[in-house]
A and B are shown apart, each in its own frame.
Chain A
């Protein structure tokens, strides 16, 4: 049994989407619980991807391919997980802030935190502050992640934090920020809870914020 999980993890690492899907189905047919397939196979594989990406042994394209394989597996698991009521790690709203159309970093984070078991709601790019507030209202997430590549749009992260404050919901979510030019000092100054320097760290940060 455990061999199947290990195989799922290693196929995921290698980015073999079709095989991951097949293996997931096989594991389920063999009577394994969906939650076990998720944590022992998909999340375990994605964790390894995160570690190696952080260490510089994997690069962005490889991560994207692995994430695609993860999605293939999740496609099968998701309806079953919802049925069995397996709790997700929490809802996570993500978006690139207003004025900024860059989505690679945001998508990487999305895949990684999804891989870590969060239920991600992706608002896309160029998301104005009131959209973030509306999404928080609708989904009542535990985490809000913001991405910005440009120094000129980073200021909109502050505007978004302020919009959450004004709505009165700032205290009920944790806010994390990231992007090529973003720094820890910047995150502190705008009143975010945390800064993640890359997609793999984003998972650790997200986990520690909801711990």
Chain B
């Protein structure tokens, strides 16, 4: 038997599944808490457990493939982590960059402008200033950890980027292996010199981080006797070999959401659906078109950066099972976006908090601070301030209630602001009432301490002037309403424009009527989603039926919906693409082929196409095999751009041809690798 091991490190949980590689059947699944400071700890726990709990005996040697979807790149970008990078820009106009405020988009402060660059036809505008390049590289080779290179119109002619890459490799080798270099043209074929620079610089910055992750994951797997090839899920849902991902880490952004869409497709067997993945921290909404995740045509946006990475077009909201619930002055629950540890889970590990909750409920008029706890996540790696240290000392032994901390610390309730900063640094974690607690109270999902959940509900209900059960119902339906609203927003934003509900009261009123939250109105409104909904994550049974009702559509909750992301990690194919652009040269005497590594002039378009068809498939197949594919199939799509004009008899202007070569293969397995 050959088994594939899928791993997903999510915002809250790390999931692991064992899947029969032939039948696609899920053999075992396990969950562990994601360990942010070292993802391999949570991964190790989940893998150990999944091997133990397999119903059929699975030995580590049976694992022929490991695939990992990871939030590492996404998180690192959002948090601004990564190594020091020097960005070399060839032929860019520094005044334009400054005037349009593009400096912010260049990721690093260390930017060197070099003379050189090309025009849109791929002709050299100015020779590359090699002397300046050499000087810049030599000055930095001991100061930075990676280089990024981007040339003006480098996607139309990469000659200058390739030359600078070669110089970096040559000049940084003396003391061992050369420094990592990322060129803009390797990551995209699209125009926009600024965004290519952003993407190349982000990629360079992530290389050491992903390298480290892969090394620790490999050793974690080896310790458990798993020696199979490791693959990483890219943001478009396809797989690449770990070694490849280390060169192009930026392509793994949105790896998790992409895996969840692929998992939804694999488990539900439906090709055209909307998928909703309710996690602990966030809910991701994405579309599956003809069995493939719909990609964002603009390129993936991560944090403040707009990249040129092809990734799943996912709409993420800060709402999940572990979202913090508070009540507003009208007694309406406010849910998220902060993620906390559910009270029921905290009490499961620390039963002593139940008494504290009971005490808070009896003591006085409950306020905002009640029903919240704080615990230490990990010892600080850097020096912390005196105040922070004193706070962390209070947390050394066990979780403390926010109320008792406010009473004991110097600045009282101001402790909340201090905590928020420590939370952002992932040194402490807060616990509080969550939708998961509400489900415990209502008896719809019970796996931890229901008593703590009840007490937490009672505290909030007292603030809202409601019965605890009524409050919990409002929380659960509130989650559903938010998901429905997000789905409607996403579809409208794709098809028309993103609605701003707060600023459009009439639209909001219609939406409220469609959600069924308005009584006594003479106007009714119904919305209908014209595609089925596939729900994954846990526990979607509690939230999604209402969403499907509100949108009058079919709801599919596949078996193993709780680990769909991890299943999606192993269900992906290896996909590689090469795009070739053909453009008429002025005077229309010849056409120019823009190939990945060079340009070539040929007399006619058909000769250009024939040349590409002769040369590219071989290159692409080799690329796909490098990326870890087996049984590779290459196909080509051709788009000719002929625009109609008004002159003569339906005369057309030939604008160019785009050839897209796509190689798709199955991930190669350990067995196959060994016999090869």
Contacts and interface: CB of A to CB of B under 8 A. Distances in A.
A162 interface: yes
Interface stretch (B56-64, B128-136, B544-552, B638-646): B638-646
Interface string B630-652: 00000000000101111110010
A166 B152 contact: yes
A53 interface: no
A64 interface: no
Given A99-B586, A155-B653, A182 B191 contact: no
B191 A166 contact: yes
Contact of B192 (A154, A166, A190): A166
Residue picked from A158, A166, A181, A186, most chain B C-beta under 10 Å: A166
A186 B93 contact: no
A141 interface: no
B188 to A, nearest CB: 12
Nearest to B117: A166
B150 to A, nearest CB: 11
B579 to A, nearest CB: 15
Interface string B578-603: 00000010101000000000000000
B100 interface: yes
Given A129-B120, A162-B120, A151 B153 contact: no
B119 A151 contact: no
A182 B655 CA distance: 13
A159 B584 CA distance: 11
Interface of B: 93, 95-96, 99-100, 102, 119-121, 152-153, 191-195, 584, 586, 588, 641, 643-648, 651, 653-656
A169 B95 CA distance: 13
A140 B119 CA distance: 21
A183 B100 contact: no
A181 B120 contact: no
A73 B178 CA distance: 68
Contacts of A210: none
Contact of B651 (A130, A151, A168, A182): A151
Interface in A25-64: none
A137 interface: yes
Nearest to B643: A186
B100 A169 contact: yes
A172 B414 CA distance: 43
Contact of A140 (B99, B194, B647): B99
A186 B100 contact: no
Nearest to B193: A166
Contacts of A163: 119-120
Nearest to A137: B96
User: 3 shortest A-B CB distances, which residue pairs?
Assistant: A168-B194, A186-B643, A181-B645
Given A137-B96, A166-B153, A167-B93, A130 B119 contact: yes
A185 B643 contact: yes
Interface string A175-198: 000001111011001100000000
15 contacts: A151-B651, A158-B656, A163-B119, A166-B120, A166-B152, A167-B93, A168-B96, A168-B193, A169-B100, A172-B100, A180-B647, A181-B647, A181-B651, A183-B643, A186-B643
